[in-house]
A = this chain, B = another copy of it.
Protein backbone atom coordinates (compact mmCIF):
# COMPACT_ATOMS: atom_id res chain seq x y z
CA UNK A 1 0.00 0.00 0.00
CA UNK A 2 2.74 2.41 0.92
CA UNK A 3 4.68 1.85 -2.26
CA UNK A 4 1.93 2.07 -4.90
CA UNK A 5 0.48 5.33 -6.10
CA UNK A 6 -3.10 6.18 -5.18
CA UNK A 7 -4.10 5.43 -8.75
CA UNK A 8 -2.78 1.87 -8.50
CA UNK A 9 -4.55 1.30 -5.23
CA UNK A 10 -7.81 2.67 -6.54
CA UNK A 11 -7.59 0.41 -9.60
CA UNK A 12 -6.86 -2.56 -7.35
CA UNK A 13 -9.82 -1.73 -5.11
CA UNK A 14 -12.13 -1.54 -8.11
CA UNK A 15 -11.24 -5.09 -9.08
CA UNK A 16 -11.88 -6.46 -5.56
CA UNK A 17 -15.04 -8.11 -4.30
CA UNK A 18 -16.70 -5.91 -1.63
CA UNK A 19 -15.91 -8.52 1.04
CA UNK A 20 -12.24 -8.48 0.11
CA UNK A 21 -12.14 -4.69 0.17
CA UNK A 22 -13.78 -4.79 3.61
CA UNK A 23 -11.19 -7.29 4.80
CA UNK A 24 -8.43 -4.98 3.55
CA UNK A 25 -9.96 -2.08 5.48
CA UNK A 26 -10.27 -4.19 8.65
CA UNK A 27 -6.63 -5.22 8.34
CA UNK A 28 -5.33 -1.68 7.98
CA UNK A 29 -4.16 0.77 10.62
CA UNK A 30 -6.44 3.80 11.15
CA UNK A 31 -4.72 6.26 8.82
CA UNK A 32 -4.59 3.97 5.78
CA UNK A 33 -8.24 3.17 6.35
CA UNK A 34 -9.40 6.71 5.75
CA UNK A 35 -7.42 6.87 2.52
CA UNK A 36 -8.69 3.49 1.31
CA UNK A 37 -12.30 4.34 2.13
CA UNK A 38 -12.11 7.51 0.05
CA UNK A 39 -10.75 5.52 -2.88
CA UNK A 40 -13.66 3.06 -2.97
CA UNK A 41 -16.21 3.77 -5.68
CA UNK A 42 -19.33 5.50 -4.33
CA UNK A 43 -21.62 2.80 -5.62
CA UNK A 44 -19.54 0.08 -3.97
CA UNK A 45 -19.26 1.79 -0.57
CA UNK A 46 -22.61 0.37 0.55
CA UNK A 47 -21.60 -3.24 -0.14
CA UNK A 48 -18.23 -2.73 1.53
CA UNK A 49 -19.79 -1.02 4.54
CA UNK A 50 -22.11 -3.99 4.93
CA UNK A 51 -19.18 -6.38 5.25
CA UNK A 52 -17.36 -4.34 7.91
CA UNK A 53 -17.44 -5.00 11.66
CA UNK A 54 -19.77 -2.93 13.85
CA UNK A 55 -17.06 -0.65 15.15
CA UNK A 56 -15.68 0.29 11.76
CA UNK A 57 -19.15 0.74 10.28
CA UNK A 58 -19.96 3.31 12.91
CA UNK A 59 -16.71 5.13 12.28
CA UNK A 60 -17.42 5.65 8.59
CA UNK A 61 -21.14 6.21 9.07
CA UNK A 62 -20.71 8.99 11.59
CA UNK A 63 -18.86 11.02 8.97
CA UNK A 64 -21.82 10.87 6.56
CA UNK A 65 -25.01 12.91 6.16
CA UNK A 66 -28.34 11.02 6.52
CA UNK A 67 -29.04 11.47 2.80
CA UNK A 68 -25.67 9.94 1.95
CA UNK A 69 -26.39 6.94 4.19
CA UNK A 70 -29.75 6.47 2.47
CA UNK A 71 -28.05 6.52 -0.92
CA UNK A 72 -25.25 4.23 0.18
CA UNK A 73 -27.53 1.53 1.52
CA UNK A 74 -29.72 1.39 -1.55
CA UNK A 75 -29.63 -2.08 -3.05
CA UNK A 76 -28.54 -3.86 0.12
CA UNK A 77 -30.68 -6.57 1.76
CA UNK A 78 -33.20 -5.24 4.26
CA UNK A 79 -31.66 -7.03 7.23
CA UNK A 80 -28.26 -5.58 6.36
CA UNK A 81 -29.61 -2.03 6.06
CA UNK A 82 -31.41 -2.53 9.37
CA UNK A 83 -28.14 -3.67 10.99
CA UNK A 84 -26.36 -0.60 9.67
CA UNK A 85 -29.10 1.81 10.76
CA UNK A 86 -29.22 0.26 14.23
CA UNK A 87 -25.66 1.48 14.74
CA UNK A 88 -26.78 5.09 14.43
CA UNK A 89 -28.50 7.22 17.07
CA UNK A 90 -32.31 6.98 16.80
CA UNK A 91 -32.79 10.47 15.43
CA UNK A 92 -30.22 9.96 12.68
CA UNK A 93 -31.90 6.65 11.76
CA UNK A 94 -35.16 8.55 11.47
CA UNK A 95 -33.58 11.12 9.16
CA UNK A 96 -32.06 8.38 7.00
CA UNK A 97 -35.46 6.71 6.67
CA UNK A 98 -36.95 10.07 5.69
CA UNK A 99 -34.37 10.40 2.94
CA UNK A 100 -35.19 7.00 1.42
CA UNK A 101 -37.70 6.46 -1.31
CA UNK A 102 -41.14 5.42 -0.16
CA UNK A 103 -40.95 1.74 -1.06
CA UNK A 104 -37.56 1.13 0.59
CA UNK A 105 -38.70 2.88 3.71
CA UNK A 106 -41.91 0.85 3.97
CA UNK A 107 -39.99 -2.42 3.65
CA UNK A 108 -37.35 -1.37 6.15
CA UNK A 109 -39.86 -0.28 8.72
CA UNK A 110 -41.03 -3.88 8.80
CA UNK A 111 -37.67 -5.19 9.97
CA UNK A 112 -35.91 -2.37 11.75
CA UNK A 113 -37.80 -2.71 15.01
CA UNK A 114 -36.63 -6.24 15.70
CA UNK A 115 -33.57 -6.52 17.95
CA UNK A 116 -30.57 -7.54 15.86
CA UNK A 117 -29.87 -10.58 18.05
CA UNK A 118 -33.21 -12.20 17.25
CA UNK A 119 -34.62 -14.08 14.28
CA UNK A 120 -36.37 -10.84 13.32
CA UNK A 121 -33.07 -9.00 13.15
CA UNK A 122 -31.56 -11.64 10.84
CA UNK A 123 -34.56 -11.76 8.58
CA UNK A 124 -35.02 -10.63 5.00
CA UNK A 125 -38.33 -9.85 3.33
CA UNK A 126 -37.38 -11.22 -0.08
CA UNK A 127 -39.04 -14.65 0.20
CA UNK A 128 -40.97 -16.01 -2.79
CA UNK A 129 -44.31 -17.37 -1.59
CA UNK A 130 -46.75 -19.70 -3.33
CA UNK A 131 -50.15 -21.27 -2.56
CA UNK A 132 -50.59 -24.97 -1.85
CA UNK A 133 -53.33 -25.54 -4.42
CA UNK A 134 -51.20 -24.59 -7.45
CA UNK A 135 -49.73 -27.24 -9.72
CA UNK A 136 -45.96 -27.30 -10.22
CA UNK A 137 -46.53 -26.30 -13.80
CA UNK A 138 -48.16 -23.05 -12.69
CA UNK A 139 -45.37 -22.48 -10.19
CA UNK A 140 -42.74 -22.91 -12.90
CA UNK A 141 -44.52 -20.39 -15.12
CA UNK A 142 -44.91 -18.01 -12.17
CA UNK A 143 -41.17 -18.19 -11.48
CA UNK A 144 -40.33 -17.55 -15.10
CA UNK A 145 -42.16 -14.22 -14.81
CA UNK A 146 -39.58 -13.16 -12.19
CA UNK A 147 -36.54 -11.32 -13.41
CA UNK A 148 -34.43 -13.07 -10.79
CA UNK A 149 -34.78 -15.24 -7.69
CA UNK A 150 -33.10 -13.97 -4.50
CA UNK A 151 -29.75 -15.53 -3.56
CA UNK A 152 -29.72 -18.54 -1.22
CA UNK A 153 -33.27 -19.45 -2.25
CA UNK A 154 -33.45 -23.21 -1.85
CA UNK A 155 -37.17 -23.36 -1.06
CA UNK A 156 -40.32 -21.57 -2.11
CA UNK A 157 -42.46 -20.83 0.92
CA UNK A 158 -46.01 -22.18 0.89
CA UNK A 159 -48.57 -19.94 2.63
CA UNK A 160 -52.35 -19.75 3.03
CA UNK A 161 -54.47 -16.98 1.61
CA UNK A 162 -53.97 -15.20 4.94
CA UNK A 163 -50.20 -15.49 4.66
CA UNK A 164 -49.90 -18.21 7.28
CA UNK A 165 -46.89 -20.46 6.84
CA UNK A 166 -47.73 -24.09 5.98
CA UNK A 167 -44.66 -25.63 4.36
CA UNK A 168 -41.75 -25.49 1.94
CA UNK A 169 -41.37 -26.51 -1.67
CA UNK A 170 -37.65 -27.15 -2.34
CA UNK A 171 -36.47 -26.03 -5.78
CA UNK A 172 -34.80 -29.46 -5.90
CA UNK A 173 -38.22 -31.09 -5.69
CA UNK A 174 -39.76 -28.70 -8.16
CA UNK A 175 -37.12 -29.59 -10.75
CA UNK A 176 -37.44 -33.38 -10.60
CA UNK A 177 -41.18 -33.81 -10.08
CA UNK A 178 -44.01 -34.31 -12.54
CA UNK A 179 -45.35 -30.77 -13.29
CA UNK A 180 -48.95 -31.91 -13.03
CA UNK A 181 -48.64 -32.55 -9.27
CA UNK A 182 -49.89 -29.94 -6.84
CA UNK A 183 -47.69 -28.07 -4.39
CA UNK A 184 -49.67 -29.62 -1.54
CA UNK A 185 -48.70 -33.14 -2.60
CA UNK A 186 -44.98 -32.39 -2.67
CA UNK A 187 -44.34 -29.71 -0.07
CA UNK A 188 -42.39 -30.42 3.13
CA UNK A 189 -44.26 -29.68 6.33
CA UNK A 190 -41.67 -31.07 8.74
CA UNK A 191 -39.55 -27.90 8.95
CA UNK A 192 -41.11 -25.61 11.55
CA UNK A 193 -40.91 -21.87 10.92
CA UNK A 194 -38.84 -19.81 13.37
CA UNK A 195 -40.66 -17.42 15.72
CA UNK A 196 -39.57 -13.83 15.11
CA UNK A 197 -38.32 -13.35 18.67
CA UNK A 198 -36.11 -16.48 18.79
CA UNK A 199 -32.59 -15.55 20.02
CA UNK A 200 -29.99 -15.61 17.26
CA UNK A 201 -27.80 -18.25 18.90
CA UNK A 202 -30.73 -20.64 18.94
CA UNK A 203 -31.40 -19.86 15.27
CA UNK A 204 -27.75 -20.64 14.55
CA UNK A 205 -27.93 -23.94 16.43
CA UNK A 206 -30.99 -25.02 14.45
CA UNK A 207 -29.32 -24.15 11.15
CA UNK A 208 -26.18 -26.05 12.18
CA UNK A 209 -28.03 -29.15 13.34
CA UNK A 210 -30.41 -29.37 10.42
CA UNK A 211 -28.07 -28.20 7.65
CA UNK A 212 -30.56 -25.56 6.51
CA UNK A 213 -29.73 -23.07 3.76
CA UNK A 214 -32.71 -20.86 4.59
CA UNK A 215 -35.63 -20.89 7.02
CA UNK A 216 -38.96 -19.04 7.21
CA UNK A 217 -39.76 -16.62 10.05
CA UNK A 218 -43.30 -16.12 11.39
CA UNK A 219 -45.07 -13.88 13.90
CA UNK A 220 -46.95 -15.27 16.89
CA UNK A 221 -50.03 -15.94 14.72
CA UNK A 222 -47.97 -18.06 12.30
CA UNK A 223 -48.01 -15.38 9.60
CA UNK A 224 -44.93 -15.33 7.39
CA UNK A 225 -42.72 -12.28 8.00
CA UNK A 226 -39.60 -13.20 6.03
CA UNK A 227 -36.77 -15.68 5.82
CA UNK A 228 -33.27 -16.12 7.23
CA UNK A 229 -30.42 -17.25 5.01
CA UNK A 230 -27.30 -19.21 5.94
CA UNK A 231 -24.85 -16.39 5.11
CA UNK A 232 -26.25 -14.27 7.94
CA UNK A 233 -26.27 -17.29 10.25
CA UNK A 234 -22.58 -17.94 9.54
CA UNK A 235 -21.85 -14.44 10.85
CA UNK A 236 -23.75 -15.23 14.04
CA UNK A 237 -21.79 -18.46 14.54
CA UNK A 238 -18.51 -16.63 14.03
CA UNK A 239 -19.47 -13.85 16.44
CA UNK A 240 -20.77 -16.21 19.14
CA UNK A 241 -17.59 -18.26 19.03
CA UNK A 242 -15.50 -15.08 19.14
CA UNK A 243 -17.54 -13.88 22.06
CA UNK A 244 -16.34 -16.64 24.43
CA UNK A 245 -12.73 -16.09 23.40
CA UNK A 246 -12.79 -12.34 23.84
CA UNK A 247 -14.97 -12.24 26.95
CA UNK A 248 -12.58 -14.54 28.84
CA UNK A 249 -10.03 -11.72 28.52
CA UNK A 250 -12.60 -9.05 29.38
CA UNK A 251 -12.81 -7.88 25.76
CA UNK A 252 -15.71 -7.27 23.40
CA UNK A 253 -16.13 -9.46 20.31
CA UNK A 254 -16.85 -6.36 18.23
CA UNK A 255 -13.45 -4.95 19.14
CA UNK A 256 -11.65 -3.65 16.08
CA UNK A 257 -8.18 -5.25 15.84
CA UNK A 258 -6.67 -2.04 14.55
CA UNK A 259 -8.41 0.43 16.84
CA UNK A 260 -6.21 3.46 17.62
CA UNK A 261 -4.09 3.58 20.79
CA UNK A 262 -6.33 5.74 22.96
CA UNK A 263 -9.53 3.85 22.20
CA UNK A 264 -7.78 0.53 22.83
CA UNK A 265 -6.29 1.72 26.10
CA UNK A 266 -9.66 2.99 27.32
CA UNK A 267 -11.35 -0.32 26.47
CA UNK A 268 -8.87 -2.44 28.29
CA UNK A 269 -8.38 -0.25 31.30
CA UNK A 270 -11.63 -1.23 33.01
CA UNK A 271 -10.70 -4.90 33.17
CA UNK A 272 -7.28 -3.95 34.55
CA UNK A 273 -8.99 -1.83 37.19
CA UNK A 274 -11.19 -4.75 38.26
CA UNK A 275 -8.10 -6.93 38.43
CA UNK A 276 -6.31 -4.35 40.54
CA UNK A 277 -9.02 -4.45 43.17
CA UNK A 278 -8.84 -8.24 43.34
CA UNK A 279 -5.02 -8.16 43.34
CA UNK A 280 -5.13 -5.92 46.41
CA UNK A 281 -7.43 -8.49 47.99
CA UNK A 282 -4.77 -11.15 47.46
CA UNK A 283 -2.14 -8.75 48.83
CA UNK A 284 -4.26 -8.16 51.91
CA UNK A 285 -4.34 -11.92 52.47
CA UNK A 286 -0.54 -12.13 52.24
CA UNK A 287 -0.11 -9.20 54.60
CA UNK A 288 -1.82 -11.24 57.34
CA UNK A 289 1.18 -13.54 57.27
CA UNK A 290 3.98 -10.97 57.21
CA UNK A 291 5.51 -12.26 60.42
CA UNK A 292 5.72 -15.81 59.14
CA UNK A 293 7.22 -14.69 55.83
CA UNK A 294 9.78 -12.58 57.68
CA UNK A 295 10.94 -15.66 59.55
CA UNK A 296 10.72 -18.13 56.64
CA UNK A 297 11.47 -16.11 53.53
CA UNK A 298 11.31 -19.28 51.39
CA UNK A 299 7.52 -18.89 51.65
CA UNK A 300 7.67 -15.70 49.59
CA UNK A 301 9.72 -17.54 47.00
CA UNK A 302 7.34 -20.48 46.70
CA UNK A 303 3.93 -18.88 47.12
CA UNK A 304 3.53 -17.77 43.47
CA UNK A 305 3.90 -21.42 42.40
CA UNK A 306 0.80 -22.47 44.32
CA UNK A 307 -1.20 -19.52 42.99
CA UNK A 308 -0.06 -19.98 39.40
CA UNK A 309 -0.88 -23.71 39.24
CA UNK A 310 -4.34 -22.95 40.61
CA UNK A 311 -4.80 -20.22 38.02
CA UNK A 312 -3.95 -22.54 35.13
CA UNK A 313 -6.13 -25.41 36.37
CA UNK A 314 -9.02 -23.04 36.97
CA UNK A 315 -8.69 -21.46 33.53
CA UNK A 316 -8.91 -24.91 31.97
CA UNK A 317 -12.13 -25.68 33.84
CA UNK A 318 -13.68 -22.31 33.02
CA UNK A 319 -12.79 -22.63 29.34
CA UNK A 320 -14.36 -26.08 29.04
CA UNK A 321 -17.50 -24.91 30.84
CA UNK A 322 -17.85 -21.70 28.85
CA UNK A 323 -17.53 -23.57 25.58
CA UNK A 324 -20.02 -26.21 26.68
CA UNK A 325 -22.49 -23.44 27.59
CA UNK A 326 -22.01 -21.73 24.25
CA UNK A 327 -22.76 -25.06 22.56
CA UNK A 328 -25.86 -25.51 24.71
CA UNK A 329 -24.58 -28.74 26.27
CA UNK A 330 -25.27 -27.89 29.90
CA UNK A 331 -28.58 -28.74 31.57
CA UNK A 332 -29.88 -29.54 35.04
CA UNK A 333 -29.22 -33.25 34.50
CA UNK A 334 -25.48 -33.03 33.87
CA UNK A 335 -24.49 -29.97 35.87
CA UNK A 336 -23.60 -31.75 39.09
CA UNK A 337 -21.78 -34.52 37.22
CA UNK A 338 -19.55 -31.89 35.62
CA UNK A 339 -18.81 -30.06 38.88
CA UNK A 340 -17.90 -33.37 40.51
CA UNK A 341 -15.74 -34.38 37.55
CA UNK A 342 -13.81 -31.12 37.79
CA UNK A 343 -13.27 -31.69 41.52
CA UNK A 344 -11.95 -35.22 40.92
CA UNK A 345 -9.65 -33.97 38.16
CA UNK A 346 -8.40 -31.36 40.66
CA UNK A 347 -7.68 -34.08 43.23
CA UNK A 348 -5.78 -36.27 40.77
CA UNK A 349 -3.69 -33.53 39.18
CA UNK A 350 -3.28 -31.86 42.57
CA UNK A 351 -1.82 -35.04 44.10
CA UNK A 352 0.36 -35.74 41.09
CA UNK A 353 1.99 -32.33 40.91
CA UNK A 354 2.05 -31.93 44.70
CA UNK A 355 4.52 -34.82 44.87
CA UNK A 356 6.77 -33.18 42.28
CA UNK A 357 6.60 -29.71 43.83
CA UNK A 358 7.07 -31.04 47.35
CA UNK A 359 10.18 -32.97 46.39
CA UNK A 360 11.66 -30.00 44.55
CA UNK A 361 10.85 -27.54 47.33
CA UNK A 362 12.11 -29.83 50.10
CA UNK A 363 15.41 -30.33 48.31
CA UNK A 364 15.79 -26.67 47.35
CA UNK A 365 15.29 -25.31 50.88
CA UNK A 366 16.51 -28.45 52.58
CA UNK A 367 13.30 -28.64 54.61
CA UNK A 368 10.82 -31.55 54.48
CA UNK A 369 8.33 -29.37 56.33
CA UNK A 370 8.16 -26.83 53.50
CA UNK A 371 7.68 -29.72 51.05
CA UNK A 372 4.75 -31.08 53.03
CA UNK A 373 3.16 -27.63 53.38
CA UNK A 374 3.36 -26.77 49.70
CA UNK A 375 2.03 -30.22 48.75
CA UNK A 376 -1.06 -29.79 50.93
CA UNK A 377 -1.61 -26.25 49.62
CA UNK A 378 -1.34 -27.46 46.00
CA UNK A 379 -3.96 -30.16 46.46
CA UNK A 380 -6.32 -27.73 48.19
CA UNK A 381 -5.85 -25.09 45.51
CA UNK A 382 -6.26 -27.42 42.54
CA UNK A 383 -9.50 -28.84 43.94
CA UNK A 384 -10.69 -25.27 44.53
CA UNK A 385 -9.66 -24.34 41.01
CA UNK A 386 -11.63 -27.22 39.48
CA UNK A 387 -14.70 -26.56 41.60
CA UNK A 388 -14.75 -22.80 41.15
CA UNK A 389 -13.88 -23.11 37.47
CA UNK A 390 -17.05 -25.13 37.05
CA UNK A 391 -19.31 -23.41 39.58
CA UNK A 392 -18.50 -19.76 38.77
CA UNK A 393 -19.69 -19.80 35.13
CA UNK A 394 -22.82 -21.77 36.11
CA UNK A 395 -23.54 -19.26 38.85
CA UNK A 396 -23.05 -16.26 36.57
CA UNK A 397 -25.33 -17.82 33.98
CA UNK A 398 -28.04 -18.26 36.60
CA UNK A 399 -27.61 -14.59 37.55
CA UNK A 400 -27.96 -13.77 33.84
CA UNK A 401 -24.42 -12.41 33.69
CA UNK A 402 -22.18 -13.50 30.82
CA UNK A 403 -20.50 -16.70 32.13
CA UNK A 404 -17.32 -16.02 30.16
CA UNK A 405 -16.66 -13.09 32.50
CA UNK A 406 -15.92 -15.69 35.19
CA UNK A 407 -12.65 -16.34 33.41
CA UNK A 408 -9.50 -14.34 33.96
CA UNK A 409 -10.01 -11.86 36.74
CA UNK A 410 -12.69 -13.44 38.92
CA UNK A 411 -11.35 -16.96 38.79
CA UNK A 412 -7.72 -16.06 39.42
CA UNK A 413 -8.81 -14.02 42.44
CA UNK A 414 -10.29 -17.17 43.92
CA UNK A 415 -7.25 -19.31 43.12
CA UNK A 416 -4.81 -16.61 44.28
CA UNK A 417 -6.60 -16.00 47.57
CA UNK A 418 -7.16 -19.70 48.31
CA UNK A 419 -3.62 -20.52 47.24
CA UNK A 420 -2.06 -17.89 49.52
CA UNK A 421 -4.32 -18.65 52.46
CA UNK A 422 -3.71 -22.40 52.21
CA UNK A 423 0.05 -22.14 51.79
CA UNK A 424 0.79 -19.31 54.22
CA UNK A 425 -1.88 -20.42 56.68
CA UNK A 426 -0.45 -23.92 56.95
CA UNK A 427 3.04 -22.46 57.23
CA UNK A 428 1.93 -20.08 59.99
CA UNK A 429 0.34 -22.98 61.88
CA UNK A 430 3.49 -25.06 61.54
CA UNK A 431 6.07 -22.37 62.29
CA UNK A 432 3.83 -20.98 65.01
Residues of chain B within 8 A of A262, CB atoms compared? 348
Contact status A300-B315, CB under 8 Å: no
A308 at the B interface (CB under 8 A):
yes
CB of A385 to closest CB in B, whole Å: 10
A36 at the B interface (CB under 8 A):
no
- In the complex, what residue of chain B is closest to A230 when comparing beta carbons? B230
Residues of chain B within 8 A of A349, CB atoms compared? 265, 268-269, 272
Number of copies: 2
Contact status B20-A209, CB under 8 Å: yes
Bound-complex Cα distance A309 to B268 (A): 12
Known: A234-B237, A348-B265. A175 touches B140 (CB 8 A): yes
CB-defined interface of A222-265 with B at 8 Å, one 1/0 digit per residue? 00000000110111011001101110111100010110111011
A290 at the B interface (CB under 8 A):
yes
Which range holds the interface residue count of chain A?
Answer: 35 or more
Contact status A304-B331, CB under 8 Å: no
A138 at the B interface (CB under 8 A):
no
A182 at the B interface (CB under 8 A):
no
Contact status B329-A23, CB under 8 Å: yes
Residues of chain B within 8 A of A282, CB atoms compared? 304-305, 308
Give the contacts of A311-328 with B (CB-CB under 8 A): 311-313, 315-316, 318-320, 322-324, 327-328
Give the contacts of A281-306 with B (CB-CB under 8 A): 282-283, 286-287, 290, 293-294, 297-305
Binding site for B on A (CB under 8 A): 1-2, 17, 19-20, 23, 26-29, 51, 140, 143-144, 146-154, 171-172, 174-177, 207-211, 213, 230-231, 233-235, 237-238, 241-242, 244-246, 248-251, 255, 257-258, 260-262, 264-265, 268-269, 271-273, 275-276, 278-280, 282-283, 286-287, 290, 293-294, 297-305, 307-309, 311-313, 315-316, 318-320, 322-324, 327-331, 333-334, 337-338, 341, 344-345, 348-349, 352-353, 356-357, 360, 408-409, 412, 416, 420
8 closest pairs, A vs B, by CB?
A241-B241, A19-B209, A211-B231, A300-B300, A249-B319, A149-B172, A265-B348, A27-B329
